[in-house]
Structure 1
Amino acid sequence: MNAMPEGGGPRKPARCPICGKPAEAGNRPFCSPRCKDLDLGRWLDGRYAIPTEEAPGEPPPVTDRDEQE
């Protein structure tokens, strides 16, 4: 009996999120060290961001732990 992955069909090969070429095992999910470094540079430049509910420049909320110090 042939085992199929969950979802019913064969898996598509992973693609590099930067250039779209097939991903290589040693650099997964990227195709090369260059694309891996480009992605890291985008994070470090602030081009990627995780959304929050805080307004820019707003101080972090005070917690009970902060008040004990």
Structure 2
Amino acid sequence: MADETEKPSATVAPLRKAVPCPICRRPSSREHYPFCSNRCRDVDLNRWLSGSYAIPVADDETKADEDDR
């Protein structure tokens, strides 16, 4: 007879690969993922709000001239 205190083994999901904080490169924390702290999270938010992450766009002047005609 099998021991009744044994529980069937549950499948454990593999842990996510450790990702460094995109601001300071320290290991990220679960609480502030993908950042390591609230400070790095705030630095990233400030960069978004100030436009630092904007994609630069070069206007094609020849196309603009053609559109005006």
Q: What's the TM-score, normalizing by structure 2?
A: 0.55
Match 1:30 to one of 19, 35, 49: 35
Two-structure CA RMSD over aligned residues (Å): 2.4
Distance in 1 separating the partners of 2:49 and 2:59: 20
Identity of aligned residues (%): 53
Residues 52 and 27 (structure 1 numbering): CA distance in 2 closer, same or farther, change over 3 Å? same
Work out the number of aligned pairs and report it.
46
Instruction: Give the unaligned 5+ runs of structure 2.
Output: 1-15, 61-69
Q: Does 1:43 find its partner at 2:48?
A: yes
Larger radius of gyration, structure 1 or 2?
A: 2
Distance in 2 separating the partners of 1:54 and 1:27: 38
Structure 1 runs, 4 residues or longer, greater than 4 Å off: 50-55
Please state how far the C-alpha of 1:49 moved relative to its aligned partner. Answer: 1.6
